[in-house]
Amino acid sequence: MNPGNFFSEMRRRNVYKVAIAYAIVAWLLIQVATQTFPFFEIPSWCVRLVIILLLLGFPIAVILAWAYELTPGGIKRTEDLAPEQSIKPAGGRRLNSLIIGVLLCAIALLVFQRFRRSGSSTSDAPDKSIAVLPFDNFSDEKENAFFADGIQDDILTSLAKIHDLKVISRTSVMPYRGTGKTNLRQIAETLGVANVLEGSVRRGGNRVVVSVQLIDARNDHHIWANRYDRPLADSLGLQGELAAEIAAELRATLSPEEKVRVETKPTENPEAYVLYLKARLYESNPDRLFEDYSVAEQLYGEAIQHDPSFALAHARLSATIARIYHWFDPIDERKSRMKTEAEKALQLRPDLGEGHLALGLYYYWAETNYEKALDEFAVAAKALPNDSDVGYFAAAIRRRQGRWNENLELLKKSLTIDPGNANVAEEIAYTYGFLHEWPEAVRMHERWTALAPDSVNAKIKRAYVDFWSQGSTAALKEVLGKISPGVDPAGLVTRARWDLAMIQRSYDAADQALTACALDQFQSNGQPTPKSFYRGCVALARGAQADARKNFELALPSFEEAVRQAPATAIRHANLGLLYSFMDRKEEAIREGHRAVELEPDSKDAVFGPWMTGYLAMIYARVGETDSALPLLEHLLTSPGPIDNTNCCVTQNDLRNRWQWDPLRNNPRFQKLLAEPAPKTVYK
């Protein structure tokens, strides 16, 4: 048969039409499979199997069209039929109709998808943007919830290392844990992303099953799904594998360095990895509790014992110690250890962004070397382009430098990029409070409470704004009244109840609040503070001098030991000075107050400096040095100053209501300060 006759024969036998019809039907089947299989949680390998089978079926369909023909008597070989028995012309017309019908279906599907994509998307979110929503815990042991959170956090962290992607931080997505996540489009619009990743984790014994699906939330289009069933040891690099697959689906470009960072396993040791995941859960608690950080510190240490080469655990341990050092326990041992752990992380992995972030925190909080800290944060930002902590800490340094507007600009930028980050909202609220911009402080505190609805700290701080700005304790009383008696993280609620009672001069209620709390001491104002100190304050405010002295004597060794442990920490000298003033030890009180101001002057630290000045003003007031106290108060009322719910917050309403300022009550100059309208805070 010559070539011309061969192609004519193919046309006569409808081979071309069968091929076209087969290709269109196959395409439709593939579209149906990719759209519907993820919805029914059918593994993605089934989609690939459908594609392979359809490809294999194509040559078979063509061969059958050539060799066989459908006749009224059934399927017969074409070679065995006489021309008058053939129904090829009629079959050709039927194939034409089929092809036209299938083409119309294909066009309708394409138009529907296009309309759905354009019509349902009201967001300007970049195509390469993603939020990794909290994973469901399907383990039989519900305590394995930490494992699901940890896997989700690891995947998110790996994705966040890719510059070509916009990735929403963990703090923004965690509020959606356990919410059902039914309206993905609304969640995506709130977070400012086009895509979301949902998943579940089941851990049983030594096996881990992770199921994930990537969804274009603008049109509820399932882009990709997969299921991984592996031994725990083989799952340690899963986060990098998943991140690479997701990046490929979103057509994100990875540089060679990013590819290495994303695909590097955090550790080869399963026990170390499980401990690390547990520690992350405690470290990332938004309430910033000493107890949580202490547990995280212990767990990271145990992870490192299992795998001393676990660089990420060293970095996280350093950052956790830094937080304990800064907010609770600034002793030299912690200062040395946070640097050692950060340097060890970078020795193991010089390009580790978390290691540079940890070293930056050391320079920031332990050395107050802002330039070195900013240099380390800049290096961290290159490795962690989506990590909101980097910009957050850079903004905090601007605040320490007294560059208030820059601080607010950087924080607002961070909140625009990461709109669900409760910590950033808290910091903006704190800055506005420091500047005494009360309407803005209220707005941001309410946003903070909305983003962290389970945080009692957020609710309490919001209520305090009404007291600082208006002198009203109604909101604080209402909030505390709604908190269950058993809810008292780190004694936070007890201290607020005690403080409310002291403001209202309800001394019996203040004693009852302390008695109801099982803790013997609180971690507050940068040091452990025994309950006897608070009991002494109640007695002193009552005028029961003997009882006050007895309790203060019990508290004194703890305060003096705190100074011995951290002699360069201003807040500990300030606390000791205030205690001395309550005990009528005038010279020692003034000495410690001055030492606190020398260590943290306004020129060195625009946040802690005014706080130390507030302590010194209160010390002067308590020991009878009124003429020294009043100029400090006049200065603090017109400049950015501290807001604190226990000691030395200087607003007009604090001065009016707190018992600590009672020695100034009858002074005409003090009364004039309180009678005048609230002065405007001057800042730049």
Asked, for residue 562, whether it belongs to a domain, the answer is yes
Asked, for residue 68, whether it belongs to a domain, the answer is yes
Asked, for residue 682, whether it belongs to a domain, the answer is no
**pLDDT tens-digit readout, 453-507:** 888 999 999 999 999 999 999 999 999 999 988 899 889 999 999 999 999 999 9
Query: Given 385, 408, 423, which residue is the final one in a domain?
Result: 385
pLDDT, residue 447, reads 93
pLDDT value at 106 more than 70: no
> Do 251 and 276 sit in the same domain of this protein?
no
Helical spans, DSSP H, in 135-269: 145-159, 170-173, 184-191, 238-249, 256-263
> Do 258 and 284 sit in the same domain of this protein?
no
> Do 540 and 626 sit in the same domain of this protein?
yes
Expressed in angstroms, the distance from the first to the final Cα of the chain is 92
Structural domain total, the chain? 4
pLDDT value at 93 more than 70: no
> Do 67 and 156 sit in the same domain of this protein?
no
> Do 373 and 504 sit in the same domain of this protein?
no
CATH number, domain with residue 222? 3.40.50.10610
d(CA 340, CA 333): 11
Query: 15-36 and 3-12 are packed helices; what angle lies between their axes, rounded to 10 degrees?
Result: 60
Using alpha carbons, list the distances in angstroms from residue 124 to 174, 246, 250, 251, 548: 23, 21, 16, 18, 62
Percent of the chain with pLDDT strictly greater than 70: 84
Asked, for residue 532, whether it belongs to a domain, the answer is yes
> Do 247 and 272 sit in the same domain of this protein?
no
Asked, for residue 477, whether it belongs to a domain, the answer is yes
Full domain range(s) for residue 493: 457-675
Structure-token match 């394995």, residue found:
144
Q: Read off the pTM.
A: 0.74
d(CA 357, CA 394): 11
pLDDT interval class at 120 (50, 70, 90): very low
Using alpha carbons, list the distances in angstroms from residue 456 to 83, 415, 484, 533, 556: 88, 22, 11, 24, 30
> Do 667 and 601 sit in the same domain of this protein?
yes
CA atoms within a 13 Å half-sphere pointing along the CA-CB vector of 464: 28
CA–CA–CA angle 492, 494, 497 (5° rounding): 110
d(CA 281, CA 277): 7
- Residue 523 β-bridge partners: 528
Sign, CA dihedral 505-509-515-517, equals: negative
> Do 32 and 161 sit in the same domain of this protein?
no
CATH number, domain with residue 366? 1.25.40.10
d(CA 325, CA 339): 12
Query: Given 242, 265, 288, which residue is the final one in a domain?
Result: 265
Q: Contact at 8 Å (CB) between 465 and 442? A: yes
Asked, for residue 190, whether it belongs to a domain, the answer is yes
> Do 109 and 152 sit in the same domain of this protein?
no
Taking alpha carbons only, the member of 252, 205, 206, 200 closest to residue 226 is: 200
Q: Which of 66-70, 155-159, 231-235, 303-307 has the lowest mean pLDDT?
A: 66-70
> Do 111 and 186 sit in the same domain of this protein?
no
Mean pLDDT value across residues 10-16 = 63
Query: Given 361, 385, 409, which residue is the final one in a domain?
Result: 385
Computed over every residue of the chain, the mean pLDDT equals: 85
Asked, for residue 197, whether it belongs to a domain, the answer is yes
d(CA 377, CA 387): 11
Structure tokens at 586: 């005038």
d(CA 257, CA 310): 20
> Do 504 and 583 sit in the same domain of this protein?
yes
Taking alpha carbons only, the member of 212, 296, 210 closest to residue 246 is: 212
Q: Contact at 8 Å (CB) between 153 and 146? A: no
pLDDT interval class at 416 (50, 70, 90): confident
**pLDDT tens-digit readout, 197-246:** 998 888 887 888 889 999 998 887 888 888 888 888 877 888 888 888 88
Mean pLDDT value across residues 130-146 = 82
Asked, for residue 80, whether it belongs to a domain, the answer is yes
**pLDDT tens-digit readout, 320-372:** 999 999 988 898 899 999 999 999 999 999 999 999 999 999 999 999 999 99
**Three-class SS state of 603:** coil
pLDDT interval class at 452 (50, 70, 90): confident
Structure tokens at 600: 């943290």
> Do 201 and 249 sit in the same domain of this protein?
yes
